């Protein structure tokens, strides 16, 4: 996916970027777009199935070959981002291969969908590990690298771009594990942005809506070529590529929704209706009812005010 060059040349010329989960789907589009705009790319992917099982390095190798075929520079990496040591090796790969690091795009993910009452411990742990720890590990080691550069008075201009989801920030039945991880990533993004600004590092997140092998079983399938095009993963890469560039230095702590239909900012939690505290719990019924009646309703998966089911009364 080619993006529009700036007046000074390609948008990410000379920048070194890591993209996790870059062998297929959205991550592949990120890697190709960054390379088309001049970035040197570490293509990380263990090549597993959508549930995290198995492994195959060929998808990452193929993306590297595509980038080299465009005249770009890239290396493959098969480290597991959910591993502490693997995350460190991933960061080291970028520095050893290209001499520096500017961008980390945390995109790797798996699915183990199940309603809460049937979800197993292993299904919970696996999804939390890949998504949440898999965002923490590379970010932590990259942040340490950038802090050392900052302390040595060397330029950093670092970027962390995380992948959250509308399933996490708005909620989707059957995905308590995935949604909790993605909501955690949104919170992680906000806090990391506050912490890393002192080192010249921005932290943002993108909530993509796209048709990939992970999402093709969720919701109705596109019925027309136009619908399929609007759900192409290529629509996610432009905002990620821009966030990876030096142009985005003034933007941090934001969550962007991206799809073939919209580019938007998801607004975070704000304090809503309020009253003075009440010591007597027996008096809280009408007070809570009033607060709820005045509060903005939670958004649905489309990001608009949603209709949530009312709890059953005994």
pLDDT digits (tens, 9 = 90+) for 268-278: 888 999 999 99
pLDDT value of position 6: 45
pLDDT averaged over every residue in the chain: 89
Reference 199, options 254, 141, 144, 138; nearest CA is 144
- Strand-pair category, 16-20 with 255-258: unpaired
pLDDT digits (tens, 9 = 90+) for 115-143: 999 999 999 999 999 999 999 999 999 99
The answer to whether residue 7 scores a pLDDT higher than 50 is: no
pLDDT digits (tens, 9 = 90+) for 206-238: 999 865 545 555 555 656 776 766 778 889 999
In angstroms, the Cα distances linking 117 to 134, 170, 175, 309 are 26, 20, 12, 18
Residue 1: pLDDT band with limits 50, 70, 90? very low
For the chain, what is the HEC assignment? Answer: CCCCCECCECCCCCCEEEEECCCCHHHHHHHHHHHHCCCEEEEECCCCCCCCCCCCCHHHHHHHHHHHHCCCCEEEECCCCCCHHHHHHHHHHHHHHHCCCCEEEECCCCCCCECHHHCCHHHHHHHHHHHHHHHHHHHHHHHHHHHHHHHCCCCCCEEEEEECCHHHHHHCCCEHHHHHHHHHHHHHHHHHHHHHHHHCEEEEEEEECCCCCCCCCCCCCCCCHHHHHHCCHHHCHHHHHHHHCHHHCCCCCCEEEECCCCEEECCCCCCCCCCCCCCCHHHHHHHHHHHHHHCCCCECCCCCECCCCCCCCC
Reference 109, options 210, 39, 191, 1; nearest CA is 210
Show me where the domains of the chain are located.
16-265
Q: How far apart are CA 33 and CA 28, in angstroms?
A: 9
pLDDT value of position 184: 97
Q: CB neighbours of 269 closer than 8 A, spacing ≥ 6?
A: none
CATH topology of domain 16-265: Rossmann fold (3.40.50)
What are φ and ψ of residue 36, in 5° steps?
A: -65, -20
Query: Quick one: average pLDDT of 274-287?
Result: 97
pLDDT value of position 212: 52
pLDDT value of position 140: 98
Contact 34, 63 (CB under 8 A): no
Q: How far apart are CA 138 and CA 122, in angstroms?
A: 23
Residue 303: pLDDT band with limits 50, 70, 90? confident
pTM of the full structure = 0.88
Q: CB neighbours of 108 closer than 8 A, spacing ≥ 6?
A: 20, 21, 27, 44, 45, 81, 130, 131, 134
The answer to whether residue 281 scores a pLDDT higher than 90 is: yes
The answer to whether residue 51 scores a pLDDT higher than 70 is: no
Catalytic residues: 178
Q: How far apart are CA 15 and CA 34, in angstroms?
A: 9
């Amino acid at each position: 996916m080619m993006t529009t060059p700036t007046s000074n040349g390609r948008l990410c010329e000379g920048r070194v970027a890591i993209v996790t989960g870059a062998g297929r789907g959205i991550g592949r589009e990120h890697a190709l777009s960054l390379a088309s705009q001049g970035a040197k790319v570490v293509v990380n992917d263990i090549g597993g199935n959508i549930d995290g099982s198995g492994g195959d390095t060929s998808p990452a190798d193929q993306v590297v070959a595509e980038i080299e075929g465009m005249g770009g520079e890239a290396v493959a990496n098969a480290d597991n981002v959910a591993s502490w040591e693997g995350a460190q090796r991933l960061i080291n790969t970028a520095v050893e291969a290209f001499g520096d690091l500017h961008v980390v795009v945390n995109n790797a993910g798996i699915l183990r969908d199940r309603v809460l009452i049937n979800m197993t411990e292993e299904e919970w742990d696996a999804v939390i590990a890949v998504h949440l720890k898999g965002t923490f590990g590379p970010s932590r080691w990259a942040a340490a690298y950038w802090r050392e550069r900052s302390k040595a008075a060397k330029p950093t201009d670092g970027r962390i771009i995380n992948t959250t989801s509308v399933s996490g920030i708005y909620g989707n039945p059957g995905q308590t594990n995935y949604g909790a991880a993605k909501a955690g990533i949104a919170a992680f993004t906000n806090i990391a942005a506050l912490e890393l600004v002192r080192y010249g590092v921005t932290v943002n997140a993108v909530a993509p809506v796209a048709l990939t092998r992970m999402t093709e079983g969720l919701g109705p399938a596109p019925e027309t070529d136009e619908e399929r095009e609007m759900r192409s993963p290529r629509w996610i890469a432009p905002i990620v590529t821009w966030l990876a560039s030096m142009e985005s230095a003034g933007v941090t702590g934001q969550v962007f929704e991206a799809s073939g239909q919209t580019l938007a900012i998801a607004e975070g939690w704000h304090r809503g209706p309020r009253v003075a505290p009440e010591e007597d719990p027996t008096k809280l019924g009408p007070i809570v009812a009033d607060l709820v009646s005045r509060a903005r309703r939670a958004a649905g998966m489309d990001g608009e005010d949603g209709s949530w089911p009312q709890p059953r009364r005994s």
